[in-house]
Amino acid sequence: MIDLPSHGRFEGREHRLPVRVYYEDTDFTGVVYHGAYVRFFERGRSDFLRTAGIGHAELLEGDAPTAFVVSAMSLKFLKPARIDDALLVRTRYEAIKGPRLMIRQAIERGGEVLCEAEVEAVCIHMDGRPRRPTQALLAAVRPWLAPSNSQG
C-alpha cells in the first residue's frame, strides 16, 4: 500500500485541510514565521480545487489554459502557531465575479482561530490578461458557493 498525502475534505461549503508545523515554518524561537501562513493558505485554496475535482495541471493543459494570481490578500494574525502544532486550514470560496474569486480562509489549532485571510484571486490567460473561469472550473466550484453567489 502507498500512503498518499491528504488533500483534505469538505464539511458543508467549507474545505478543511490538516497541516503540521515543521521546523522550516518557524523562526528561531519555534513560532511560525508570518510568511508560512501564506503558504498554508495557498495549500488550502489549491486543495479545495483538487478535492472539488479540478487540479492546476488540468487547468494549464486545457484548450484555454488558465492560471491564477492573487490580486489582494488581507491577513489578521490573532495568536501564534508553534513548531509541531497540528493546524487546520479552513477555506470557503465565497463568490465568483467575472474573473475574480473571492475566498475566506482561517487557520486554527484545536478549534481556536490563529489567523484569518480574505483573498481575491484572478483567473488569467497565460499571457497574464484576466479571463473568466472555464466552464470546468465553474462547474467544480459552483456547488460550494453560497446560492446567491454562484454566477460566473
User: Tens place of pLDDT for every residue, the chain, 152 residues?
Assistant: 666 778 999 999 999 999 999 999 999 999 999 999 999 999 999 999 999 998 888 888 878 889 999 999 999 999 999 999 999 999 999 999 999 999 999 999 999 999 999 999 999 999 999 999 988 899 999 999 977 755 55
Distance between CA atoms of residues 71 and 90, nearest Å = 20
3-state secondary structure of 122: strand
The partner residues of 75 in beta bridges, in order of sequence, read 117
**Residues in the chain, overall count:** 152
Residue 62 per-residue DSSP state = S
pLDDT given at position 57: 87
User: Per CATH, which fold does 9-146 belong to?
Assistant: Thiol Ester Dehydrase; Chain A (3.10.129)
Is position 27 annotated as part of the catalytic site? yes
At 1 the pLDDT is: 64
Q: How far is residue 8's CA from residue 45's CA, in Å, rounded to a whole number? A: 11
* Predicted pLDDT at 60: 87
**Residue tagged active-site, from 3, 25, 27, 127:** 27
**How far, in Å, CA of 135 to CA of 69, rounded?**
19
The pLDDT of residue 55: 85
pLDDT at position 108 is 98
Instruction: Please give the pLDDT value at position 64.
Output: 82
Q: Which residues contact 29 (CB under 8 A, 6 or more apart)?
A: none
